Amino acid sequence: MISIAKPVLGHEEIDAVKQVLASGQITQGRLTKELEQRFANLCDSNFAVALNNGTAALHTALYALGIGKGDEVIVPPFTFVATANAVLMQQASLVFADVEDETFNLDPGQVEKHITPRTKAIIAVNLYGHPADYDSLRALADKHDLFIIEDAAQSHGALYHGRPAGSLGDIAAFSFYATKNMMCAEGGIITTTKDDWAEKCRRFRHHGQSEQTRYEYDDLGYNYRMNDIQAAIALEQLKRLHDMNEKRILNARALTRGLGHVDHIQTPVVREGVRHVYHQYTILVEKHRDALLNHLRDNGVGAGVYYPKPLHLHPHFRKLGFSEGDFPVSELLSTKVISLPVHPSVSEKDIEKIISVVKSGVKA
Ligand SMILES: *Cc1c(COP(=O)(O)O)cnc(C)c1O
């Protein structure tokens, strides 16, 4: 089976973990700091704050911007559940806005329709590794005095008109979960250019305590700390990130060469000025998506569906008053998407096989 995801793990990561364990300094320390400095560099940001996962990073980013009860935050319904849950964790009001059918990202026209005097922020997701339409979103944010939070969990190393993911909004949240473009099993990080937001993030991850005055608590916080075992892995992954992304991009090009002209499927669209880093390579299947999915799996291609149901149709969000028909593009996409293996360990031979199995499985 050609798997849909596989972390690249070499002796470098293993040696780095051994060194941390041998040093005895295993909780948050020097290596976490080093990761923060290097990751801030990657993202053209002044500050990075490392956390124990990407969900914590989103929650912490919302806190740092002062978002809470009574504030509305606009989020796409076609994303991983963490994007929306982070809003609820801060007791803010969740407002969905539909996505574009080409890039799968927030549709700025739909966002504008949902802006009210209570809107405080937009969470733009760079879904599958393709940055959202930040020029349009920034124009809206400036006009209505809103923050842009970048959910960059799937887009380490992506570019938008020369600017890196992590620098495209006011504050950004990344995940280092095992399947992401770079990983440390579980982990997350925030990037921002503002000193006081970075300081709020550091406190929030440590029960509200500043690094200067210990056992003094100014505000609520959590234990969202990263440890140096995670940081050691992430530092090795960061060294590999460019090569791993280049391999994803090469694999994606080869898939598009083989599938671009096949009837009834649409290969990924890449907008001008974008470096898409293909966290997922996602095609749209016009008809009989589930039949193709079964055919792929029966023939050794581990295809995935991200996401099989838009968030607003889950009981957890229906309770908030959302229902079928509210976000038609997201609802349609969830019946048509298939993600094909594109990760760095997918070989040229695997690509040939994926292309031929897709071709033999597509039905009119
Ligand atoms: C993975 C992911 C997250 C959450 O990250 P975790 O590290 O799993 O908590 C948030 N948003 C998106 C879009 C993701 O893909």
Give the burial class of 12: count Cβ atoms within 10 A of its Cβ; 0-12 exposed, 13-18 middle, 19 or more buried: middle
- Asked if 128 and 147 touch (Cβ cutoff 8 Å), the reply is no
76 lines ligand 1 (CB under 6 A): no
The identity of residue 360, as a single letter, is S
Q: The dihedral of CA 137, 142, 143, 147: what is its sign?
A: positive
How far does Cα 341 stand from its chain's mean position? 17
Q: Is the CB of 151 inside a 6 Å radius of any atom of ligand 1?
A: yes
CB 363 within 8 A of CB 291: yes
Query: Do residues 20 and 216 make contact, with C-beta atoms less than 8 angstroms apart?
Result: no
| The pLDDT value given to residue 364 | 62
Q: Report how far residue 351's alpha carbon sits from residue 91's, in angstroms, rounded to the nearest whole number.
A: 45
Rounded Cα gap, residues 72 and 114, in angstroms? 10
Q: Where are the alpha helices (DSSP H) in 213-326?
A: 228-259, 289-298, 315-318
What tens digit of pLDDT does each residue of 61-84 get? 999 999 999 999 999 999 999 999
What is residue 212's predicted lDDT score, i.e. its pLDDT? 86
d(CA 227, CA 98): 37
Ligand 1 centroid to Cα of residue 116, in Å, is 27
Distance (angstroms) between ligand 1 centre and the Cα of 262 equals 32
Q: What 3-state DSSP class applies to 27?
A: coil
Q: Is the CB of 150 under 6 A from ligand 1?
A: no
In this structure, the dihedral spanned by the alpha carbons of residues 245, 250, 255 and 260, taken in order and rounded to 10 degrees, is: 110
3-state DSSP of 161-215: CCEECCCCCCEEEEECCCCCCCCCCCCEEEEECCHHHHHHHHHHCECCCCCCCCC
Shortest-distance Cα residue to atom 2 of ligand 1? 153
Nearest CA to ligand 1 atom 5: 54
**Shortest CA distance to 239 belongs to which of 10, 49, 28?**
10
Q: Is the CB of 230 under 6 A from ligand 1?
A: no
Q: Which long-range contacts (CB under 8 A, 24 or more apart) does 199-206 make?
A: 200/63, 200/64, 201/49, 201/51, 201/60, 201/61, 201/63, 201/64, 202/49, 204/60, 204/63, 204/64, 205/49, 205/51, 205/52, 205/56, 205/60
CA–centroid distance, residue 165 to ligand 1 (Å) = 15
Structure tokens at 306: 């991200």
Which residues of the chain, if any, have pLDDT below 50? none
Which token pair is 176?
Answer: 């280092």
